[in-house]
Amino acid sequence: MTLLDLAGVSFAYASGTKVLHDVNLAVEAGSNLGIVGESGSGKTTLLKLLLGLERASVGSIMFRDARLDAANRSFMRGFRRSVQAVFQDPYSSLDPRQRVFEIIAEPLRSLKIETDIAAAVAQALRDVDLPGDAAGRYPHEFSGGQRQRIAIARAIVAKPDLVIADEVVSALDLTTRTRIIDLLRSLSARMTFIVVSHDIALVALLCERLVVLEKGRIVEQGATRDILARPAHPYTQRLLASTPRMPASA
């Protein structure tokens, strides 16, 4: 089943800078998608479009069988229940004044999901391997890796179909990265991921499909295994040669 489908999508910021050019891609349920590209190539911008936070200047973005329409509130409520996001910085993305319980419960409350909130938060904490008593503590009491787990718990608590993650491991040390990659792999039995990452190990271990962005254009896309083994485009070859590899991807 196709979750997201982009056809001929171009995008410019209000300042006039053109950032994406004629992007065509489909995200299938059960097939994780990695997005790689140099800094400034438009990866985060593409995620913003996929999340309905920015609108395509040209082209269409379909979510399931409907056009992604950020202006339609009831559509967006259903969309947010299906699609959640995790962002890079495990320090700034969590409200320091809220206990972990409230942070993780937030999507259930804002989406008005009728469920046993305490049980759902406890389950999300178990899913990300944090102790149950974490719920009563504040974000500053946790390490960077643990905070990233809290952010992931918040993203999965409403049982989304798709989780969109931007550089979720880049601020973490090698051991913690490996643990978070293992966590995402185990969660991917239940949901589909779109990840932006400079970390080829994350992409190689998690993503069946890969998209390579250069200056806002897709220069290569296909099976991750094939692209990593035989990058066809010179840009991909340079990108892979310049990206440090973790032992896990060797």
Contact predicate 41/32, CB 8 Å: no
| Rounded Cα gap, residues 179 and 94, in angstroms | 20
Concatenate the DSSP letters of all residues of 42-54 into one string: SHHHHHHHHTTSS
- Our CB check for Mg ion shows the closer of 152 and 165 to be 165
- Our CB check for Mg ion shows the closer of 44 and 82 to be 44
- Our CB check for ligand ATP shows the closer of 3 and 20 to be 20
Residue 222 contact, options Mg ion, ligand ATP, none, Cβ 5-8 Å cut-off depending on partner type: none
Residue numbers 13-52 binding Mg ion by CB under 5 A = 44
Q: Token match 């040390």: residue? A: 173
- Our CB check for Mg ion shows the closer of 33 and 158 to be 33
Least distance in angstroms from the C-beta of 53 to ligand ATP: 10
- Tell me 2's DSSP state: E
- Our CB check for ligand ATP shows the closer of 25 and 134 to be 25
Residue 170 interacts with Mg ion (CB under 5 A): yes or no: no
CA separation, residue 156 to residues 80, 119, 190 (Å): 11, 14, 10
Name, in order, each residue with C-beta under 8 angstroms of 222's C-beta and a sequence gap of 6 or more: 209, 210
| Rounded Cα gap, residues 175 and 145, in angstroms | 10
Binding residues with Mg ion: total (CB under 5 A): 1
- Our CB check for ligand ATP shows the closer of 37 and 90 to be 37
Residue 74 contact, options ligand ATP, Mg ion, none, Cβ 5-8 Å cut-off depending on partner type: none
Least distance in angstroms from the C-beta of 212 to ligand ATP: 12
CA angle 98, 88, 200 (to 5 degrees): 150
Residue 123 interacts with Mg ion (CB under 5 A): yes or no: no
Name, in order, each residue with C-beta under 8 angstroms of 13's C-beta and a sequence gap of 6 or more: 19, 45
Residue ranges that bind ligand ATP, judged by CB under 6 A:
13, 15, 17, 19, 37, 39-45
Residue 45 contact, options Mg ion, ligand ATP, none, Cβ 5-8 Å cut-off depending on partner type: ligand ATP
Q: What are 189's two structure tokens?
A: 């039995």
**What residue ranges bind Mg ion (CB under 5 A)?**
44
